[in-house]
Amino acid sequence: MTILIPVLGDQLSHDLASLRDVDRADAVVLLMEVADETTYVRHHKRKIALIFSAMRHFAEELRGMGWTVDYVRLDDPANSGSFTGEVTRAVARHGASAIRITESGEWRVKTMIDGWQRALGLPVKILPDDRFVCGILEFQTWAQARNDLVMEFFYREMRRKTGLLMTADGKPEGGTWNLDQENRAPPKRGLNYPEPLHIAPDAITQEVIDMVAARFAGHFGRLDKFGLAVTAGDARRALDHFVRTALPDFGAYQDAMVTGQDWLYHSWLSPALNLGLLTPLEVAQAAADAYAAGDVPLNAAEGFIRQIIGWREYVRGYYWLEMPAVAQANALEATRPLPEFYWTGETDMLCMAEAVRNTRDHGYAHHIQRLMVLGNFAMLAGVRPQDVADWFLVVYADAYEWVELPNVIGMSQHADGGRLATKPYAGGGAYINRMSDHCGRCRYDVKQKTGPNACPFNALYWDFLARHERRFRRNRRMVQMYANWDRMKPEIREAYRASAAAFLETLEPAAAGWAR
């Protein structure tokens, strides 16, 4: 009796649930490079290369550990192009009598797997993905007990559950749960920014890069200088490097943006985490250990751990709670198509051009670029959230729907009507000016409020508040903004709105075919 164990491209963990408690002599592990997964959105070239190289390395490691591995390459002439097609072929090839699989990260793939038992006529055992700190049902139980899904309270539960940064008597280390107020220093001159560890491509990675360059030439993004971890060992080295070189300053400068500095003190560990090369607990533990050893301050360790066991776990729980309806949510009724410059980077807004350049070059932009520049602009401009979500899913090497969609639809576009975030993450030029060095170099003047040379974020911000006055005026966290709006003379308000309208007129919609 042969058990077929399909392992999906973001399940590359040796401790994966479906690989546990199995007699290797009776099992065949199936890894599949399939065309449908590469094109359901037209992923960034670097993302495809990363996933295929990591899959091929993982297959080699499994073989070395005594597993029988069936690896279907994209260029296999018999490749059917889909997960279901490849599982069907593999069942026949190996005479499999059962399938064992860890639940998928995405709804789209879950619906495929749910159909296998019936279609193939054999038992399909689907195991919970316990690489996360919080199980899907555990999150649902937590959510059912409250009206509002406040991340902060969830995060405290996860701190208690893991014991990370907790004292022996069950109190948060340092006396406070959350040092967010100490995570907002603007960039200073003279700071040294470390580079993330660059891992030179080996022969497997180079072969994949060459294949992706040839086959996916029309996809967004650059492939040169590929240096991402593609094995658990490399990912662990990248984690150690981050903890030593960047984590000490991560806390203070978490929200800063600097022209030409693509990572600042961020870890760039999300691709390895989301592929399964690192577990969230080992990453968070490494930060806690560095704090315990006195190597990093509390605001760094806490700020970092909050992102991993707080935000990352929270958005995953939210995704499975709110899917599938949330994918279509559009509470602000935004209808504008995505502007073309999200793909080309051709805009005079330096903050936007920089964020798109980062994204094109590395499949990366750090959180504040994603939230307060790229996401903020789209929301202020009234871009259709599903266009925005498609863009984010394509362009980031760490993007899988379970993590991308809540961040886009919920956190950044407020398209879920405030289920994830009680207040929209909207900001004018003053915020970007405070947190970056971009504005001094931009052709727009951040101090000018209206007119052709004024920073577009300024008028767009007020226009957004005016457009959505009925929804937001009574929001307790926005009272101050509307008080400011009310104090303006009518002709000033009118000038903001006219300026925003004139700017929006200039936006070129994206050409068809970039994302899908």
- Residues lying near ligand FAD in the complex (CB under 6 A) are found at 266-270, 273-274, 304, 307-308, 311-312, 315, 366-367, 370-371, 375, 392, 396, 398-399, 403-404, 407-408, 411-412
Interacting partner of 367 out of ligand DLZ, ligand SF4, ligand FAD, none (Cβ under 5 to 8 A depending on kind): ligand FAD
Can you give the binding site for ligand SF4, defined by CB under 6 A? Answer: 349-351, 429, 432-433, 438-439, 442, 444, 446, 455-457
Q: Which is nearer to ligand DLZ, 38 or 84 (CB)?
A: 38
Q: How far is the CB of 442 from ligand DLZ (least distance, A)?
A: 35
Interacting partner of 362 out of ligand DLZ, ligand FAD, ligand SF4, none (Cβ under 5 to 8 A depending on kind): none
Interacting partner of 429 out of ligand FAD, ligand DLZ, ligand SF4, none (Cβ under 5 to 8 A depending on kind): ligand SF4
3-class SS of residue 447:
coil
Q: Which is nearer to ligand SF4, 439 or 478 (CB)?
A: 439
Q: How far is the CB of 128 from ligand DLZ (least distance, A)?
A: 14
Is-contact 123 417, C-beta < 8 A? Answer: no
Q: Which is nearer to ligand DLZ, 33 or 255 (CB)?
A: 33
Closest C-alpha to 507, from 349, 280, 313: 349
Q: How far is the CB of 368 from ligand SF4 (least distance, A)?
A: 12
Q: How far is the CB of 479 from ligand FAD (least distance, A)?
A: 25
Q: Which is nearer to ligand DLZ, 83 or 268 (CB)?
A: 83
Inter-residue long-range contacts of 478-487, CB under 8 Å, 24+ positions, other chains counted: 478/423
Q: Which is nearer to ligand FAD, 18 or 274 (CB)?
A: 274
Burial degree of 181 (CB within 10 A; 0-12, 13-18, 19+): exposed
5 — phi, psi (to 5°)? Answer: -120, 90
Q: Which is nearer to ligand FAD, 116 or 314 (CB)?
A: 314
Q: Which is nearer to ligand DLZ, 29 or 372 (CB)?
A: 29
Overall residue count recorded for the chain in this entry: 516
Integer Cα distance of 277 and 274 in angstroms: 8
Inter-residue long-range contacts of 205-211, CB under 8 Å, 24+ positions, other chains counted: 205/49, 205/53, 205/230, 208/49, 208/52, 208/53, 208/56, 209/49, 209/53, 211/52, 211/74, 211/75
Q: How far is the CB of 499 from ligand SF4 (least distance, A)?
A: 13
Q: Which is nearer to ligand DLZ, 278 or 500 (CB)?
A: 278
436 — phi, psi (to 5°)? Answer: -145, 175
Closest C-alpha to 265, from 277, 275, 256, 273: 256
For 472, the enclosing helix (H) or strand (E) is helix 469-472
Is-contact 509 340, C-beta < 8 A? Answer: yes
Can you give the binding site for ligand DLZ, defined by CB under 6 A? Answer: 8-10, 32-34, 37-38, 43, 48, 51, 104-106, 109, 400
- Greatest C-alpha distance within the chain: 79
Q: How far is the CB of 416 from ligand DLZ (least distance, A)?
A: 21
Position with the least CB separation from ligand DLZ? 9
